[in-house]
Structure 1
Amino acid sequence: MNIERLVKLLNLTASNSDGEALNAIRLANSILRKANRTWSDLISGGVARQDSGPSIQEMLEFLQNCDLHSGTRRFIDSLEDFHSKNGFLTDRQMTKLKEIYQHYCRR
């Protein structure tokens, strides 16, 4: 999901033109629908922001080469699938990914 595009569209909702504002909100809703997200997800901080350190992709690639327990492997595979389809991870997914990554990085 392109957050920058979503922000630009939300800024357009302040337009004096009702048609432009309505079109902007419809496009924003479309972006959320395609990402299988809701306004509540965004407002409550349900989408994780990438901070410093390894990228999501770097952590996932590192973990793909680790000897993981089968349940952990399935979870990492599901994160990779979710990230490739949606372009982001939720806060909870990101927190868990970092925990697993840090655990296996120390070995």
Structure 2
Amino acid sequence: MEIAPLAITPVSMSATSHLGETQEPKEVKNFGQYLTDALKKTNGLQLESERQNALLAAGRIEDVSQVVIAAKKAEIALQLTLQLRNKAVTAYQEIMRMQV
């Protein structure tokens, strides 16, 4: 008895509103794109924090809370990124230890 693999065909989806308009399907991002976007946002927060610090050092900012908030946002984003990296490395190491 021969077992044939499943043939998965891409499904095109479209939605129709109650007004009869056709809505375009949303673009689906893959994991790599989400990861790239997240790293770009983290980098942007770090750059904004550095810019705020430079402006504070130059005496151009009167409200110090803006600088503190920007620094905390950058710190939290960096900590989250590092924790995600650590979890990914741990998962990879666990998979490599599995016996097949």
TM-score range, shorter chain: 0.3 to 0.5
Which has a greater percent of helix?
Answer: 1
TM norm structure 2: 0.36
Where relative contact order (Cα < 8 A, 6+ residues apart) is larger, the structure is: 1
TM norm structure 1: 0.35
